[in-house]
């Protein structure tokens, strides 16, 4: 367990479930300057509402959610995640209709699942299937390589 925490700290990688911006957060008139960075995600204008890679770091969740178009956020700055990470919408797991097309995807788990070392993930047939797993926080194209 200690090893896991140390490894995550050294790599600066932190996995956490994603959080939806509430209506209240979206209409916040003012945010504090407190620095508790989050990776805010905007959904693509077209296409899926289940996941997106349009992301930017904000000083805190209030300023992320008060930004037009930001629908949800992951804890920590976007730099703490792989560059090509695409984040699952917090409600994507409610979606039960995925095609079975094979587009190998590596889904990375949030911190509800820990592994012996490194990032913790599983192979999925496609992105829709990855995000349907409620513990998957983000994914990358291709099969998992260094993930356990």
Where are the alpha helices (H) located in the chain, listed in sequence order?
A: 2-11, 23-26, 61-65, 127-132
- Rounded to whole angstroms, how far apart are CA atoms 109 and 86? 13
Compute the chain's Rg from CA coordinates.
Answer: 15
Question: Contact with ligand NAG (CB under 6 A): which of 8, 108, 130, 140?
Answer: 140
Q: Can you list the positions of beta strands (E) in 59-120? A: 70-75, 86-88, 105-109
Q: Is 117 in the site for ligand NAG (CB under 6 A)?
A: no
Minimum separation from the CB atom of position 123 to ligand NAG (A): 4
Q: Is 133 in the site for ligand NAG (CB under 6 A)?
A: no
Minimum separation from the CB atom of position 57 to ligand NAG (A): 17
Residues 46-85 that bind ligand NAG (CB under 6 A): 82-84
Residue numbers of the site for ligand NAG (CB under 6 A)?
82-84, 121-123, 140-144, 147
């Amino acid at each position: 367990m200690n090893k896991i925490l140390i490894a995550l700290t050294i790599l600066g990688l932190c996995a956490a479930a994603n959080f939806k911006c509430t209506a209240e957060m979206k209409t916040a008139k003012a945010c504090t300057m407190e620095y508790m960075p989050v990776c805010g995600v905007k959904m693509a204008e077209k296409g899926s509402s289940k996941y997106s890679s349009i992301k930017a770091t904000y000083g805190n969740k209030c300023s992320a959610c008060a930004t037009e178009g930001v629908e949800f956020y992951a804890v920590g700055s976007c730099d703490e995640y792989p560059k090509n990470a695409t984040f699952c919408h917090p409600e994507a797991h409610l979606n039960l209709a995925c095609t079975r097309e094979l587009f190998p995807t590596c889904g990375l788990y949030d911190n509800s699942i820990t592994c012996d070392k490194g990032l913790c993930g599983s192979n999925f047939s496609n992105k829709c299937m990855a995000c349907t797993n409620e513990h998957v926080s983000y994914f990358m194209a291709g099969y998992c390589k260094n993930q356990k």
